[in-house]
Amino acid sequence: MQMTGARVVCEALIREDVKVIFGIPGGAILPFYDALWHYPQIRHVLMRHEQASAHAAEAYSRVTGEVGVCVATSGPGATNLITGLTAAKMDSTPLVAITGQVARPFIGTEAFQECATSEMAAPLVKKTFLILDPSDIASTIHEAFIVAKSGRPGPVLVDLPKDVQAELVEYEPLLFPEETANNHSQVDDGLIKHAAQIINESERPLIIAGNGVHISNASEELKALAEKGSIPVINTLHGTGSFPRDHHLSMGMLGMHGMYSSNIATCEADVILGIGARFDDRVIGRPGSFGENAKIIKIDIEPEHIQKNVPADLGIISSAKPALEVLIPHIKFKKRNQWFERLSQLSKTHPSTEIPEGDIPNPQYVLSALADLLSEVRDPVVVTGVGQHQMWAAQFIRLQEPRSFVTSGGLGVMGFEVPAAIGAQVGKPNSTVWSIAGDGGFQMTLQELATIAQERLPIKFAIINNQFLGMVRQWQESFYDHHYKAVEIPPIDHVKLCEAYGIPALCVNSKEEVQSALAAATSENGPFLIDFRVSPEENVYPMVPPGASLAETVEDPRVITKRQDFKPSNEGSVSYP
């Protein structure tokens, strides 16, 4: 049958089982939107900024495991997408971005809203396509989805000239194999047996679980491995939720603001097994200092990562799930009492989630209270922006399920927390989604409150409002002699702001109001925002200073001062069966 190129795009999206797209229409993409009118089975979420469209699509993908889709017009629409696509590339999230382009005769003429979208995006995504022949649309869209999902997942951009969308073309549904994404390559049995031998012979092993555990849907295998071998598990920021935080083998996060006990454990371990972790600078500290006493084993889908940042003594190139499935039968149980006693001592004598005293609510108090609330909620999802609130959230909120923590890790995009919450809520409509926001990041994308109101999404917001660009201020305090410059944010009335969007909100100024505000948000069926006015100069601890190793992790001075009178906190510690 004959149909327009734009309708072929819609047919191709349906064949890829796309249920939702996030976007904003514009001149060069209008033929697609006209075609979309005929396909009500594809839900379109109208965002207020193209960057937000990409962030929402990324969060949707992160919580569902499906490929996220975002759409923008040419020129400024496409350029606005770039930050979100770069973030998805760095955090290994499969996206397909569809952009409009000026008609073929006008490409390269500096036409209105023209830019070289494919060339601009090429270094920042896995692959770009500029479709100049409408007969190529169906096969190209399919290839875009395969590329996005294969190997280390990531974003792919498809650029569609306006006249290609409008041109009539003969269309017949193409026959594709059921599954062509190559994430289950043959695992080297010899390497697996060698890894098992090293682990079985070790006295002080550790597992570091990264984002690859989520991507490969390997959380059950990770748990089985840890339990069978009696091996403690540390997670990266993106590995949060890949292993149940309340499990007796869980040690929590490591890295620049990780648990003190987790960081020191990496210095004392004799074997470190990294599963789907990039070992980036925020995880390893000073280059060359990580795991100096350990044999390093890496399981990673990307060959380049085996020797990158922390060279591996043994590298297994594979997605996490198939590698663990083969590894588990070779692992033997070993108690390792001395190792667990040492780790338990570290966590008890060096607590990392102590709540400072004071009359003004501090971020630790607020997030501890929210953590208690979420422990009683079925299938919660936590979304954060970037900065201090992000680190406190990762420290205090003890998530038990995979794909329950969504944050911008690699690129570290401020403003991620509002649009990403939209994607997470659309992806998991029956989940309770909490967006933990900094007051600085929130103001970067708060226009998406309009999307939340229009779509009636029951997202709950907790703004950790310290009236600063908090992490920048902390660095200026710690490393630039308190030279506070361009970091103060005059307070705005978030309650009145939310009134403009028809969203109920509360402002909390005291500890006594925290619980009642959380209860009010929980009881509200729709969106709700709480503006927590917290102590302004609170710092995130533990902290690994720039240029330091994990062995030089700095604790909260208040914890050090009271250590002699310390009573074990409720942060938990690993223990052997």
- What percent of the chain is modeled with pLDDT above 70? 95
Cβ atoms within 10 Å of 198's Cβ, excluding its own: 17
The answer regarding whether domain 363-540 maps to CATH 3.30.750.24 reads: no
pLDDT, residue 577, reads 38
The CATH 3.40.50.1220 domain(s) of the chain lie at: 189-349
| pLDDT one-digit tens code per residue, 431-478 | 999 999 999 999 999 999 999 999 999 999 999 999 999 999 999 999
pTM: 0.95
pLDDT, residue 576, reads 40
pLDDT, residue 569, reads 46
In the structure, what pLDDT confidence band is assigned to residue 561 with cuts at 50, 70 and 90?
confident
pLDDT, residue 462, reads 98
CB under 8 Å to 120, separation ≥6 — which residues?
78, 79, 82
pLDDT (average), residues 16-24: 98
CB under 8 A, 24+ apart: contacts of 284-290: 284/255, 284/309, 284/310, 284/550, 285/255, 285/256, 285/544, 285/548, 285/549, 285/550, 285/552, 286/547, 286/548, 286/549, 289/549, 289/550, 289/551, 290/266, 290/549, 290/550
Q: What is the CATH number of domain 189-349?
A: 3.40.50.1220
- Indicate the burial class of 329 (C-beta count within 10 angstroms; 0-12, 13-18, 19 or more): exposed
pLDDT (average), residues 109-114: 95
- Indicate the burial class of 402 (C-beta count within 10 angstroms; 0-12, 13-18, 19 or more): buried
How far, rounded to the nearest angstrom, does the alpha carbon of residue 509 sit from its chain's CA centroid?
Answer: 30
In the structure, what pLDDT confidence band is assigned to residue 562 with cuts at 50, 70 and 90?
low
pLDDT, residue 232, reads 98
Q: Which residues are catalytic?
A: 50, 112-113, 162, 471
φ, ψ at 488 (rounded to 5°): -80, 135
| pLDDT one-digit tens code per residue, 386-403 | 999 999 999 999 999 999
The CATH 3.40.50.970 domain(s) of the chain lie at: 2-170, 363-540
In the structure, what pLDDT confidence band is assigned to residue 359 with cuts at 50, 70 and 90?
confident
Residue 271 contacts residue 206 (beta carbons within 8 Å): yes
70 DSSP β-pair partners: 22, 97
The CATH H-level (homologous superfamily) assignment of domain 2-170 is: Thiamin diphosphate (ThDP)-binding fold, Pyr/PP domains (3.40.50.970)
In the structure, what pLDDT confidence band is assigned to residue 177 with cuts at 50, 70 and 90?
low
Helix (H, G, I), strand (E, B), or coil: what is residue 206? strand
Cβ atoms within 10 Å of 132's Cβ, excluding its own: 14
| pLDDT one-digit tens code per residue, 74-95 | 999 999 999 999 999 999 999 9
Q: Has residue 363 got a pLDDT over 50?
A: yes
CB under 8 Å to 523, separation ≥6 — which residues?
none
| pLDDT one-digit tens code per residue, 221-248 | 999 999 999 999 999 999 999 999 999 9
